[in-house]
Every structure is written in C-alpha cells, then in structure tokens.
Amino acid sequence: MFLASFSGCIASEDGDNEGRYIDDEEDLIDYIEEGICGDIDGDGIPDCPLSGYIEGTDPWWCTSSGIGGHHVDPVYENSQKGALSDEICEALTYELKAAILWSQEWPTLGDAEAAGYSMSVEYVEGMGTHHVMLNDFSMEDSSFDAENPLFPGTRIDSVFEFERPEFLMYGGEDADAQLVGFAWFVHAPVDNPPDGFSGDNDWWHRHEIMCFRPSDFVLRGEGLSDEVCEERGGENINLEEYWMVHAWIVRPWLTFDDVFTNHHPCLYEEGPETDPDAECWSESTEHVGHEI
C-alpha cells in the first residue's frame, strides 16, 4: 500500500475516533478495518479526505514552506510561508475538504469531458491538463475583447469559491487519466491578489499574456508575440488581471513541502510517475518550475 497517498489524513468525525490523526500505515489499516474510511469515489480504494482537524497537530497542508515554484508574483516579495495557527488550519482543512468532495464526480478525464469540461491546456510537465467548464463561452463571439477579457457563462470571474476550483487537472490526455490537482482562476487587480484560502500560504500567480486558439480555447503558448501566436492558430489574451493558485490535495498527488506549489515533481514530461517508490515522491517542491 502506498502510504504517501494517505499520510496526513484525519479520521471520520463519526464514532469514537473523532478527529484522530492518521500518521502511519498501521493506523490507516485499522481505520479501514473499522469502516471509518469509506470508498467515496467508487474506485475500490478506501478514501480518507481531509475530513477533520484536531488541535495541536500540524498536518502537512497547514505547514507550507518555500516559494511555490518559479511563478512568484512581486506582490509576495519579502513574504514567507509557514505554519498556520490552529484556528486558521481548521478553517483551511474544511475549505480543502470541500474541494475534494465536490470533485469526486469526475475522477477521470473521461468523466470530466462527459460532463461538459473541455481541455484548455494540454498535458504539461509538472502540471497535467487544465480542464474548464466553458458552457456557451467562445472567443469567436463578437463581444469578446482580448485586451479586457471576460468569460460570461463560465465561473471564471471575480468570485473565489474554495469548494469549486475553476480548473480540474488530469495526469494525461486519455479518457482514463486520473484527477491529480486543482487550479483556481480569479479576476482581481494587478497589485491585489484575491482573498483566497484561510491563511497566507496560498501565493497566487499570473500568466499575463497567453495565446489561445479561438475555436476551442486551447492554449497555444505563453508570452508569444502576436505574430508567433497567429502562426500557431491562436490569439493573444491579456490576462494580467487574472490570478491562479493550485492545491495538491488529491491522493497520491500530495506536495508535503507546499500544498499550494505550482507544480508536482512526479508529473513528468512523458507522463505521471506510477511507481510509489520513485524518488520524485520525496523531492522538494520549493523551486520546481515548468515550461509551456
């Protein structure tokens, strides 16, 4: 059994084990045998999402460190991540739990696309895909302004909803690719990132100029000249007032150094690492970068 995929979970709030912290594999096995950890997503694997918090513990998702990758916005200059207080950690726990539970309907890329999600970013090393619910939005609509973009009909707006990330991220482009992470994408002023998760560890970043193919809103590159973007069949969009943050809370894709880091070291260019003994699972995520 892959311990890293369960380590740091909290037991169900039901029964005599309320709030008990699962910190080793033997403890986890006891919980499975007792029926406390249920099979939430129906894949036959017992699930223990972030379902509670007990005062005095320091769960990994409340002790982020580092700078979260190379997309560090100047607004965070001289800032530092660190352990959260008990009160803030408890609030963050339930925020992250809500996102996990909300996403259980789409454990695979095929599930997401069957529900109407489309792949706006193809598989990228360290990131996976980015799937978004576009509904009736189209860049080809005459009202769309690439210099001051709005995305009517989608949930890409100025509202942060911790329980409903704008993007679902998958570990490949095949229908059976597994959900690996989330990304929130919120409209806010250039110098003022969204009021996001509880605490100060969710460092948001911006991709100021991105080239998308108007016909299907698929990314063709970042920071390209208009000429190069057009050669790739795309149109540049000014996204300087749109902020993004990731959270790696889907097992086994946990990032223990920094839950809000931009990237996961086990999402290789050729695909996700499936060997639980691979070295990447213990790599630091403090300074991981990627190329688009």
Residue 53 included in any domain? no
pLDDT over 60 (residue 121): yes
Residue 148 has a pLDDT of: 97
Residue 55 included in any domain? no
Q: Which domain holds residue 34?
A: 1-48
Find the mean pLDDT for residues 261-271: 94
Please give the structure tokens belonging to residue 43. Answer: 């894949």
Q: Are residues 73 and 110 both part of a single domain?
A: yes
Query: What does the alpha-carbon distance between residue 24 and residue 13 come to, in Å, rounded to a whole number?
Result: 19
In the chain, pLDDT over 70 holds for what percent of residues? 76
pLDDT over 90 (residue 158): yes
Residue 18 has a pLDDT of: 37
In the chain, pLDDT over 90 holds for what percent of residues? 61
Tell me the C-alpha to C-alpha distance, in Å, between residue 112 and each of 20, 117, 174, 246.
33, 5, 12, 18
Residue 214 included in any domain? yes
pLDDT over 80 (residue 246): yes
Q: Are residues 11 and 87 both part of a single domain?
A: no
Q: Select the more confidently predicted residue: 287 or 114.
A: 114
Q: pLDDT averaged over the chain?
A: 83
Find the mean pLDDT for residues 21-29: 44
